[in-house]
Amino acid sequence: MDFDPEPYELLPAVLHYIAAVGSLLFVVALVAVIWSLASRGRSGPAALIEGIKKGCRDFAQISPRRVWALSMLTIREALRRKALMVFVVFAVLFMFAGWFLQQATDRPDLQVEVYVSFVLKAITWLVLPVVMILACWGLPEDIRARSLHTVVTKPVRRSEIVLGRIIGFISVSTLILLIMGGVGYVWILRQVPDPSYLVSRVPIYGKLRYTNRLGDERNAIGLEYDYSINVGDIWEFRNYIEGGTKSRALWYFEGMDADDFDDKLIIETGFESFRTHKGDMDRGLLARLNIMNAETGLQVPLQPFTVEEYTQNLHEIPRKLQYFDEDTQDFREVDLFEDLVYDGTLKIAVECLDANQYIGMARPDLFIRLPDRSFFAGYSKAILGIWLMLSIIVVIAVSASCFVKGPVAVLLTFSFLILGQPFRSFMEKMVTGEQEGGGPLEAWYRLIHHLNTTSELPASLLTNAMKFIDQILLNFLWVMQNLIPNFEHFRMSPYVANGFDVPWSAAMLPSLVVTIAYLLPCVLIGYFSLAMRELESK
Amino acid sequence: MENDAVIQIRNLTKIYRDFWGRKKVLALNSLSLDVNKGEIFGLLGPNGSGKTTTMKLLLGLLFPTDGKISILGKEASNVEKNERIGYLPEESYLYRFLNAEETLDFYGQLFDMPASQRREQTDRLIKSVGLDFARRRQLKEYSKGMTRRIGLAQALINDPELVLLDEPTSGLDPLGTRDMKDMILKLRDEGKTVVMCSHLLADVQDVCDRIAILYEGELKQLGRVDELLKEQDVTQLLTSRLDDAVVRDIEEVLKKHNAQLKSIDHPTNSLEDLFLKTVKESVERPGRRFLPDEAAQPDASEGNGQSPSESASQTPAESGEQTSQAESEKPDEAQPAS
C-alpha cells in the first residue's frame, strides 16, 4: 500500500478550530464596529448589537415547516432544471468504460483498484460540478428573477432561506449519489473478474522504528531511529533494512487486548525488495518476523518467509507459540498475549535474511488484520465521504451565493475546492518555507534573472522590498490555509480501491468534523450577508 | 400612531448610491403619509416617481436612507409584520416551474399553515380567481392575466389585513382589469386595507378611496379621490331624456341668470363599458358577428335593406333596437345639462 493513514487528533483539531474561528470573529467584529461608526456615527455600535440580537432571534425562531418548504422548492427547482441529465453522461461513461479498463492490468487486485477508483472518481467529478453550479446559481437567480422578493415578503427569515437552500441542495446531491452509487456498485460486481478480491480489510497499524546495522534502537543522543537506509529512491516513502546484519524494522502495536482476537493473530505484510546483486532470481528475498516482549526482551522468531512483492503476504500467528530457548537448549511454549504483550504493546521486529540485500518498508506495510468486512461496507463509506464533500461544497456555495452573483460564487467555491485539494500541499510548502524559490515576487525576479531556486539573492533595496511584500502575501496565504477546508480528508477511494475498509479515525472522523466545522460559520456568513443585503438594490 | 392608521410613514427618504457610496438617484424625498384601516389607498405617479420604491420600502425589500415606517404597529424590517400582509408584485415574481396548487401550497407553508388549512385555502383561492381549469398547469404556461390572478391568490393565502398591490391591472385585458378591480373592492368590503400603486389613472379612480400623487420622489397631492376631482366652479345636472322644447326653456332660464352654458349633450358610455357589454353579449349569444356592411350602410340597415345572410346573422335585439334597449336597462344614466 502506498499511502499512510494517520489517525486524526480530534482535540488539537478542535482547539485549532476554536482559535481560527475566534480570530476570524474578532477581526469581523472589529471591522463591523469601524464600519458602523463610519456609516451611522455614535449610534452605529448600538445598531450593530441590535442586528446581532435580531440574528439570534431569527435563528431561535426558525420554523421547520418553512425550512422544509424551501428545501422542497429547491429540490423541485433542481429537478425541473434537468439536473438529473447528469445521469445521461454517467450512463454513457459506464457503457463504454469497461472496454478501456478491462485491459489495464492482469492482476486481479489491481483490476479491482482500477474499477473502484474509476467508479468513485466518476461519481465525484460528475456530481460535484452539477451540485456546485446549482448551489451557486440558485439564490442569485432567484434574486435576479425576483422570485425571492415574493418569498421574503412572507414571514420568512433569512436564516430559513439559507438553511432551506442548503438542505435542498444536499438532498438533491444525496438522491443523485444514491442512484449513481448503486449503479456503480452493481457495475463493479459485474466487471471484476474475481469477486473474492472485493473485500474490506480492517487493519490495525502500529508505530514503526528501526535499528541500525549494529542493532541499536537509539542513536548517540538517545533518539529512536525513525528512518533507516535510503536506497536512492527519489520518493522516500520506504526505508530499507540491510540483510545479514542486526538491522531491524520494529513495529509497536499499542492497545492490544486478548479479548479482541480469536486464538490467532493475522499479520499482513507488503514489503519491497532492493537487490544489490542478482542472488537467486527465482525466489524473493527471505525475511523473518520476530515477536518480542518490549520490556523483558523475550523474542520468539517465526518461520522465515519469502517476500512476495506487490501482493499480500499473510502470516498466521497462533496464540500459543513454541520457540527454541538458547539458554535451556529446549523448546518452550509461550502465550502471545500473556508473555509477549507488555502493557498492551506488542513489538514485532522484521529482519532481512539475505546478506547484502535490502527490504524496504513503510509504516502501513505491516499491520494486524482483523476479520474482513464486506466490500459493500467500505464502498458505502467511500460514498459517504463523497456525500460529505458535496455537503461542504453546497454549504460554501450557498453562503457565497448570498453575497455575490452566480458566476463569482462558482469561481469562489471552485477556488476553495482547488486550493483545498490538489494545491493544498503546495500551499503548505509555501507557507512553511519548505518550497524553495521564495514568494511570487522573488520567483518572478529569479525567472527574469535566470537564477535557480537555491542560489542566494543579491542584497539590495529591491530584493529586500520584494521579500517584504512576499512575506505579506505569504501571511495572507497562511490565513487562507487556515480558512480553506482540507478536502484531502474526504478522499476515501484509495482505501476501498486497495481493498481496505475506510477507517473511522483516519478518514471518517476528520471528514465529519470538517463538514460540521464549516457548517455553522458558513450559515452565519450566508445569513448576515442576505440580511444586510437590499434585494431590490439598483 | 393614530388608532386607524395601518401604515404610518414619516420623512421617508431613499437615496440610491453607487458602489463607491456616491449619490446616484434621490428616489424618495421626505415622504410622510398615513394609510387608514379599511380603505383603498392609491399611490399615483409617472414612471420613476417613487411609488414602487415606497412599496418596497414598506415591505423591507429596500432599507430607508432616512425616516421611519410603521406597518401594523411594527417596523418595516420586522419579519413578523409579514404574517398580516399580502403582496402582489408588479410582475408576478413566482416560481414558474410550479403549478397553481404547488404555488399556493408553497406560500401557505411559508405562513406555517398546517396541511389541511393549506389545501382548503388553495382550493378556495384557485376557484375565487377563476383558475380552476388550470390548477395543475405550470405557471410558465400561464398567460399574463392568469399569472396576475395566481399572483393575487398567493397574496391572499394568509387572509391578510393589509394587501399591497403593485400595478395590479398592468398587462390585463379589460375583462381581467374589471375582475381585478372587483376583487379589490371586495377586499375592502371584507374589511381589509388595500394599498395599490399604479399609473393607470382610470383604474385608480374607479377603486381608490384616497390617493397620493408622487412626482420625482416628492408627495404632490394627498386626499380623497372624490374631493380632489370635484370642480367647485362647475355645476352638472343629470335628468331623464328631455324634449328639444324643454332644452330651449332651460337655456332661456340660464340666460336669464347669466349662467354660461358649456354643453348640452347625451352622455357617452366609457369604452370599458362598451367592451364589457359586447363580450357579455357574445357569451350569451354565440355565433353573432359584426358585419362591416352594417356599419357602412346604416340607412340601408334601418330601412330593412339587408341581404338575407346579414339578416340571418343578427338577432332582433340588434341594430337600432339595441340602443333603446341599452338605455332602458340604464334608467339612471341620462344626459347631463350644465
Read off the pLDDT of residues B173-226 as tens digits, 9 standing for 90 and up: 888 888 889 989 999 999 999 999 887 888 888 899 998 888 888 888 888 888
The nearest CA of chain A is from the CA of B175 a distance in Å of 26
Residue A2 confidence class, pLDDT cut points 50, 70, 90: low
More confident site: A191 or B118? B118
Q: Do A153 and B25 touch (CB under 8 A)?
A: no
Chain A CB contacts of B23 below 8 Å: none
Question: Domains in chain B, please, with CATH?
Answer: 5-229 (3.40.50.300), 234-338 (no CATH)
Q: Give the mean model confidence (pLDDT) for residues A178-199.
A: 89
Q: Do A65 and B112 touch (CB under 8 A)?
A: yes
Which residues touch A266 (CB under 8 Å, ≥6 apart)? A314, A315, A316, A317, A368, A369
Does residue B325 carry a pLDDT above 80?
Answer: no
Global confidence as pTM: 0.81
Does residue A466 carry a pLDDT above 60?
Answer: yes
If you compute the radius of gyration of chain B from its CA atoms, what whole number of angstroms results? 25
Q: Do A536 and B62 touch (CB under 8 A)?
A: yes
Q: Do B61 and A149 touch (CB under 8 A)?
A: yes
Q: Nearest Cβ partner of B111 from A58, A145, A154?
A: A154
Q: Nearest Cβ partner of A73 from B61, B106, B111?
A: B106
Does residue A430 carry a pLDDT above 90?
Answer: no
Chain A CB contacts of B111 below 8 Å: 154-155
What CA–CA distances, in Å, run from A319 to A262, A295, A336, A379?
8, 19, 5, 32
Chain B CB contacts of A151 below 8 Å: 110
Residue B312 confidence class, pLDDT cut points 50, 70, 90: very low
Q: What was the ipTM of the complex prediction?
A: 0.77
More confident site: A487 or B331? A487
Does residue A500 carry a pLDDT above 70?
Answer: yes
**Mean of all residue pLDDT scores within chain A:** 89
**Exposure on the CB side of residue A139, measured as CA atoms within 13 A:** 37
Q: Do A534 and B112 touch (CB under 8 A)?
A: no
Q: Which of A177, A185, A51 is nearest to A116 (CA)?
A: A185
Q: Nearest Cβ partner of B97 from A66, A69, A76?
A: A76
The nearest CA of chain A is from the CA of B21 a distance in Å of 11
Residue of A nearest to B80 (CA): A155
Chain A CB contacts of B82 below 8 Å: 153-156
Taking one residue from A and the other from B, the number of pairs with CB-CB distance under 8 angstroms is 77
The nearest CA of chain A is from the CA of B33 a distance in Å of 22
pLDDT in tens, B126-148: 998 889 999 999 999 998 888 88
Q: Which of A303, A306, A305 is nearest to A324 (CA)?
A: A303
Sign of the torsion angle spanned by Cα atoms A367, A369, A370, A372 = positive
Residue B321 confidence class, pLDDT cut points 50, 70, 90: very low
- Report the percent of chain A where pLDDT is more than 70: 98
Chosen from B58, B110, B116, B152 to mutate, greatest number of chain A CBs within 10 A: B110
Q: Which of B174, B155, B177 is nearest to B165 (CA)?
A: B155
Question: Domains in chain A, please, with CATH?
Answer: 238-361 (2.60.120), 422-490 (no CATH)
The nearest CA of chain B is from the CA of A204 a distance in Å of 51
Tell me, what's the pLDDT at B329? 37
- Report the percent of chain A where pLDDT is more than 90: 48
Sheet holding A264-269, edge to edge: A199-205, A366-374, A264-269, A313-318
Contact residues of B toward A, CB < 8 A: 16, 24-25, 56, 59-63, 79-80, 82-83, 85, 87, 89, 91, 93-95, 97-98, 102, 106-107, 109-112, 154, 158
Segment among A397-411, B20-34, B282-296 with least mean pLDDT:
B282-296
Q: Do A63 and B112 touch (CB under 8 A)?
A: yes
Residue of B nearest to A532 (CA): B63
Does residue B332 carry a pLDDT above 50?
Answer: no
Which residues touch B337 (CB under 8 Å, ≥6 apart)? B236, B237, B238, B239, B242, B247, B250, B264
Segment among A194-208, B40-54, B260-274 with least mean pLDDT:
B260-274
Q: Do A147 and B93 touch (CB under 8 A)?
A: yes
Q: Do A153 and B85 touch (CB under 8 A)?
A: yes
Residue of B nearest to A146 (CA): B93
Residue of A nearest to B21 (CA): A39
Does residue B156 carry a pLDDT above 80?
Answer: yes
Tell me, what's the pLDDT at A537? 57
Grid cell locating A508:
471518517
Q: Give the mean model confidence (pLDDT) for residues A15-44.
A: 89
Tell me, what's the pLDDT at A104? 62
Report d(CA B140, CA A81) in Å as an integer.
13
Chosen from A150, A152, A158, A533 to mutate, greatest number of chain B CBs within 10 A: A150
The nearest CA of chain A is from the CA of B5 a distance in Å of 21
Q: Give the mean model confidence (pLDDT) for residues A442-469.
A: 89
Burial of A91 (0-12, 13-18, 19+ CB in 10 A): exposed
The nearest CA of chain A is from the CA of B312 a distance in Å of 53
Q: Do A152 and B109 touch (CB under 8 A)?
A: no
Chosen from B79, B148, B152, B161 to mutate, greatest number of chain A CBs within 10 A: B79
Tell me, what's the pLDDT at A348? 94
The nearest CA of chain A is from the CA of B17 a distance in Å of 8
Tell me, what's the pLDDT at A1? 52
Residue of A nearest to B156 (CA): A154
Does residue B3 carry a pLDDT above 60?
Answer: no
Residue of B nearest to A78 (CA): B97
Does residue A42 carry a pLDDT above 80?
Answer: yes
The nearest CA of chain A is from the CA of B95 a distance in Å of 6
The nearest CA of chain A is from the CA of B324 a distance in Å of 50
The nearest CA of chain A is from the CA of B103 a distance in Å of 10
pLDDT in tens, A60-108: 989 999 999 999 999 998 888 777 778 888 888 877 777 777 766 677 7
Tell me, what's the pLDDT at B170? 81
Q: Do A538 and B97 touch (CB under 8 A)?
A: no
Chain B CB contacts of A35 below 8 Å: none
Tell me, what's the pLDDT at B2? 47
Tell me, what's the pLDDT at A132? 93
Does residue A151 carry a pLDDT above 90?
Answer: yes
Chain B CB contacts of A146 below 8 Å: 89, 91, 93
Residue B301 confidence class, pLDDT cut points 50, 70, 90: very low
Chain B CB contacts of A152 below 8 Å: 59-61
Chain A CB contacts of B217 below 8 Å: none
Q: Write a three-state SS string for chain B.
A: CCCCEEEEEEEEEEEEECCCCCEEEEEEEEEEEEEECCCEEEEECCCCCCHHHHHHHHHCCCCCCEEEEEECCEECCCHHHHHHEEEECCCCCCCCCCEHHHHHHHHHHHCCCCHHHHHHHHHHHHHHCCCHHHCCCEHHHCCHHHHHHHHHHHHCCCCCCEEEEECCCCCCCHHHHHHHHHHHHHHHHCCCEEEEEECCHHHHHHHCCEEEEEECCEEEEEEEHHHHHCCCCCCCEECCCCCHHHHHHHHHHHHHCCCCCCCECCCCCCHHHHHHHHHHHHHHCCCCCCCHHHHHCHHHHHCCCCCHHHHHHCCCCCCHHHHHHHHHHCCCCCCEEC
pLDDT in tens, A232-270: 877 778 999 999 999 999 999 998 888 888 888 999 999
- Name, of A332-346, A386-400, B84-98, the range with top average pLDDT: A386-400
Tell me, what's the pLDDT at A481? 86
Q: Write a three-state SS string for A496-513.
A: HHCCECCCHHHHHHHHHH
Report d(CA B276, CA B278) in Å as an integer.
5
Contact residues of A toward B, CB < 8 A: 58, 63, 65-66, 68-69, 72-73, 76-77, 80-81, 145-147, 149-157, 534-538
Q: Give the mean model confidence (pLDDT) for residues A367-382.
A: 93
Chain B CB contacts of A150 below 8 Å: 87, 89, 93-94, 107, 154
**Mean of all residue pLDDT scores within chain B:** 80
The nearest CA of chain B is from the CA of A63 a distance in Å of 7
Tell me, what's the pLDDT at A395? 96
Does residue B64 carry a pLDDT above 60?
Answer: yes
Chosen from A153, A156, A163, A165 to mutate, greatest number of chain B CBs within 10 A: A153
